[in-house]
Structure 1
Amino acid sequence: MHKLKAKIASLEKYASAHNLLDKAEALFLRHGGPVARLWLKLSGTARAVVINLLIGLGIGLWLFTQTNSDLIRKAEYNGIDWVLNQYRGSAPAHPERAVPFTFIHVDEETYREWGEPIFTPRDKLAALIRYARENGAASIVVDIALDRPTPDDVPLQEELSSFNQPGNRTHLFQIRTFMAPLEGETGLTRLRTSFLDKTFGLDHPYIHPASSLYNLAEDGVVRHWRVWEPVCHVGKDGAAQPVALPSVQLATLAISHDQYAQLKQTLANQLTPGCDQAVELPDQIFRVDSRLAVHLGGDRIKKTILYSIPWQLKPGESRPQIEWNGTPTPLLTKIPARRIIQQPDLKEDLNGQIVIIGTSHAEARDTHMTPFGEMPGAMIIINAIHSILQHGEIQPPGLLGKLLLQSALIVVMSLIFARWRSLAGAVITYVLIVAAMLPLSLWLFKAGMWLDFALPLLAVQLHQVAKSFHERIDRARQMAQIESNNSSNQEKTA
């Protein structure tokens, strides 16, 4: 008898939420009028479906208004990180849009062999650019700071002058750095002047300044890319004027579709007349083609980097290959810079590829945390370019689409609980979510869509479990009452 009472007490604390619902239902029946009478005509299963819909959709609506809360962001980050790791190293979802990458990196061995220089030697950087250009690269991204002049700048200037030659088709993106306003200052972030600006300016047809800034999440992980940077540039005449620098991934996308001039004009239209005014990022759309469009503002989910190319391979992992110019080609090829310098006549078919020249040695201080762990900044650029070429922006479903899908799932869950109550219903529902919805979410995510349905369904499931506990409490109380009556009858008989 004492064990039964203890069991009742332990169950009661789990059923408190359902007791509140019972009280709310009683109040509704007392004052609900015609709606309450209609409610009484519904079957028990129909009532359960309606209650579950109210709970699930109510939470879904609440989540839609809480996208910037810490709790929702953390859940969002955990979900996206998990999905990304399921597709780590996978083949591109759209092979026809994939472009192979070659990462020429100044690794630890190269850095030490070159004497651990403070600046990457400009003559060697010129040789790396020449190697990529002469071997047919479509685009070269230089992720090495060129803000300050060095005694070896002439070879680099001479190599970059070759981009002026007739017949050149290679584009070069120079990653630029910025200076934030000092305390008390207002206006735009300042673009650090490069020694190359005097020679090539900011409007060269093949040498383009670009940004590689990303939004750092609260946990220090790089998950979201930035579209563009409104900055203040001091020109040759000393005058300051606002300019718009696209992100390197957006610039690459635009050039691959012959839309770079349109992109520059679209961004320039968002600028204020002077450098003393901040620029609000508009929710305007830059449309690349009928399939791809990018919001110049917009929420963080749309700017999620769909990482798929790891820096270091795990045991048993291999690089995916794509069909390129009729030949199976690795999606990513890594070449230490010293190898190219040591073998000036080295030939590699880079025709149409995107080449990134960057650093990976520790002294560069260019390592960042990602959902795949630490990786060099150049590898983040590679993943961002690959992501935008494959998917453009990630497309979360709208509120109506979410609610319709959640409604369908909640109805199915409610029917399952009506058929298999208690723990069996919970287990079957869990298996249903994993077996049916998880593959769908993974497939949609790989196609560039993010489907988040877990929290509303979890709330419905918890409600059903609470209801089950409540029913078990009622049964336990009835059994306790029966045992108490039997004991009383036995005492009277004795």
Structure 2
Amino acid sequence: MLNKPRITASDWLKKYLPERKIRHKKIIISKVFWVFLLTFFGLVPVGALYLIKDTALKRQIEDYTFGVYSSFWRNVPVGNLNVAFTLFGVTRETIDGWEQPSPRIRRDRLKDLVRIAVDGGATAVVLDVGLDGEEPGNNELYEYLASLNNPAGTPVFLVRDLLLDEPSRKEAGKAGGCRMARRTMFSALDSKMDSKTSQIHWVTATIGGNPRFLTAQYLTQYERVCTDTVPRITPSVFLAMSALIDANGNGPAETPAAALADLTEKLTKAVERHIPQDSFCSKEAPEPISLANGRTILLDQSPCRTGNWIRFTLPWLLEKGELPAMYGPDRVPVVDRKFIDDQTLKAQPSSQTMFRGRIVVIGAADQGSGDIKVTPLGWMPGTMVIINALHSQINLPEFRILDKKGILALELFISFLASVGAVFLAEFARRAFFVNAVIIVSCCVIIPGAAVYIWGAGLWMDVTAPAISAFIHHKILHAVLHRFRHRTHGASSPKPPLPAPAEVRPVTTSPEKADISTTQL
């Protein structure tokens, strides 16, 4: 049996209406359809956002959009280079040799790394090797740190490892909300650090992020740290560096020890007066703290505080273990690579001028270390996150978000360009210029304007552009994860036995390849 012919709406119009009326009906139907889309997908979401503006759902939406928004707007080019960095990438082998004696590995490498940086005139040394972890197997590093007594010398910052397990959280509640840290031999240096002439200082490097994106976004300004039941206010590494280096890249007028003691005193008093807010983005004005070097910091732990953001501008290629060429205005490498052998470690201080004026960061820098963070630029070790945070604080200008009027002006300008282009494209296809103009301008101008004043966010800046950025970052991160998993699976295969101890030879590289990377020890 043959199927009956299918009668469409077009066949029905041809049967009962003339050709001119058919064309007119189609135009009317299409315009009504576009007006319906404008109303439903434009005004309805804006009105819904207005109704939920003071609810928990609005807070969750802000949390989500903030992650996408920040991943787009914080990727900025390298600007003025006040201070450059040197990264000593300590491998797992060095840490094992530090904790467990081995004839193949010198146990005092970490001490010598700090020594050549201090004797070489570095601006500061950041030691991020888990000093609050397991008890080390020797005293070389401890004895050297205890011998540093020059208040005008290079400050050495020891990064605390804070405990995050459930028993530690319960102990923190008993101790007044402080973060617990395990007592080790380095805890005996606490009394030394209380002095205003101390050359060594505890700092924190607690990295916060968006829980939905699981990406590193900002550093907390301080932590309440407890090794027993007495909380101590410990500044973050970038806050301590702000007290050490002013906005022009100069050191403090007083000694580094006096500048850091001034920071600790003012920060402790401000924290006692500061009452944390429960809201995701508190509108309360943060408390300003004037430092001895002329900087003014705002005490605000909120993730919406732009001064705490890490603007990731220094990427890390995990699969190659090196940095791409990244230079400052004077062709100075932002992050330098030095191959340090045993002979260089034992050299005299007068021969070590490579670190003068640089911030030396010592810590794990390979995927086997376990200290790997996910960032908007892909995976990178925690030491590189610290360098990006310090680079954002010292070398880049403060990032400021536009107010509602500024966002609206930019939104309307982008909308004007988009609407003009859309109108001309629509006019090229059809001749209903006026109707197309009304619909397109309504979509591109009225809705962004309403979104800015009702919700405080822009359609182009907070939705369209971050969506494109998130897609690009997703593709990059997917490629990095694919390479990382491939290398991980390959590394799980049986390895040949280690060779006999051999003489350590210095690694030489061509000038083209020795510009920027890390020290592998």
Distance in 2 (alpha carbons) for counterparts of 1:457 and 1:147: 42
Q: Structure 1 regions of 5+ residues with no counterpart?
A: 24-51, 235-239, 434-450, 460-494
Q: Which residue of 2 aligns with 1:175?
A: 159
Distance in 2 (alpha carbons) for counterparts of 1:398 and 1:207: 41
Deviations 1:208-245 (A, max 9, x none): 111110113222211122111123353xxxxx333211
Answer yes or no: is 1:155 the counterpart of 2:156. Answer: no
TM-score (norm 2): 0.61
- Aligned partner of 1:227 among 221, 227, 245: 221
Distance in 1 (alpha carbons) for counterparts of 2:311 and 2:121: 27
Q: Which residue of 2 aligns with 1:250?
A: 239
Q: Structure 2 counterpart of 1:321, which letter?
A: Y
Answer yes or no: is 1:321 the counterpart of 2:305. Answer: no
Answer yes or no: is 1:81 the counterpart of 2:98. Answer: no
Residue pair 1:224, 1:300 contacting (<8 A) in 2 also: no
Q: Which residue of 1 aligns with 2:333?
A: 330
Q: Structure 2 counterpart of 1:198, which letter?
A: A
Deviation at 1:360, TM superposition (A): 2.5
Q: Structure 1 counterpart of 2:263, which letter?
A: L
Provide the secondary structure at the position in 2 that maps to 1:216. Answer: strand
Answer yes or no: is 1:197 the counterpart of 2:187. Answer: yes
Distance in 1 (alpha carbons) for counterparts of 2:30 and 2:72: 33
Q: Structure 1 counterpart of 2:149, which letter?
A: N
Q: Which residue of 2 aligns with 1:211?
A: 204
Provide the secondary structure at the position in 1 that maps to 2:148. Answer: helix
Answer yes or no: is 1:297 the counterpart of 2:281. Answer: no
- Greater C-alpha Rg: 1
Distance in 2 (alpha carbons) for counterparts of 1:59 and 1:290: 46
Deviation at 1:266, TM superposition (A): 2.9
Distance in 2 (alpha carbons) for counterparts of 1:300 and 1:174: 27
Q: Structure 2 counterpart of 1:322, which letter?
A: G
> Structure 1 stretch 375-384 or stretch 170-179: which is displaced more?
170-179
Q: Which residue of 2 aligns with 1:44?
A: none
Deviations 1:84-122 (A, max 9, x none): 56x5xx4x2223x3x11111111366568x499599986
1:336–1:312 CA distance, 2 compared to 1 (3 A): farther
Number of equivalences: 390
Provide the secondary structure at the position in 2 that maps to 1:164. Answer: coil
Distance in 1 (alpha carbons) for counterparts of 2:131 and 2:48: 51
TM-score (norm 1): 0.63
1:344–1:22 CA distance, 2 compared to 1 (3 A): closer
Deviation at 1:357, TM superposition (A): 0.7
Distance in 1 (alpha carbons) for counterparts of 2:73 and 2:262: 35
Root-mean-square deviation over aligned CA pairs? 4.8
Q: Structure 2 counterpart of 1:146, which letter?
A: L
Distance in 2 (alpha carbons) for counterparts of 1:321 and 1:382: 15
Provide the secondary structure at the position in 1 that maps to 2:223. Answer: strand
1:386–1:268 CA distance, 2 compared to 1 (3 A): same
Residue pair 1:138, 1:170 contacting (<8 A) in 2 also: yes
- Aligned partner of 1:360 among 365, 370, 379: 365
Distance in 1 (alpha carbons) for counterparts of 2:110 and 2:91: 14
Deviations 1:353-399 (A, max 9, x none): 10011012445311111112111111100000101113465321122
Residue pair 2:317, 2:323 contacting (<8 A) in 1 also: no
Q: Structure 1 counterpart of 2:225, which letter?
A: V
Distance in 1 (alpha carbons) for counterparts of 2:234 and 2:106: 26
Answer yes or no: is 1:126 the counterpart of 2:132. Answer: no
Distance in 2 (alpha carbons) for counterparts of 1:244 and 1:297: 14
Deviation at 1:458, TM superposition (A): 6.4
Deviation at 1:142, TM superposition (A): 0.5
Distance in 2 (alpha carbons) for counterparts of 1:62 and 1:169: 58
Distance in 2 (alpha carbons) for counterparts of 1:137 and 1:165: 14
Identity %: 22
Distance in 2 (alpha carbons) for counterparts of 1:320 and 1:305: 17
Deviations 1:227-272 (A, max 9, x none): 11123353xxxxx333211110111111113353443233212445
Deviations 1:103-146 (A, max 9, x none): 1111366568x499599986221111101111111100010122
Residue pair 1:216, 1:223 contacting (<8 A) in 2 also: yes
Provide the secondary structure at the position in 1 that maps to 2:169. Answer: coil
Provide the secondary structure at the position in 2 that maps to 1:383. Answer: helix
Q: Which residue of 1 aligns with 2:388?
A: 383
Deviation at 1:454, TM superposition (A): 0.8
Provide the secondary structure at the position in 2 that maps to 1:285. Answer: strand
Bigger RCO (CA 8 Å, 6+ sep) = 1
Residue pair 1:286, 1:296 contacting (<8 A) in 2 also: no
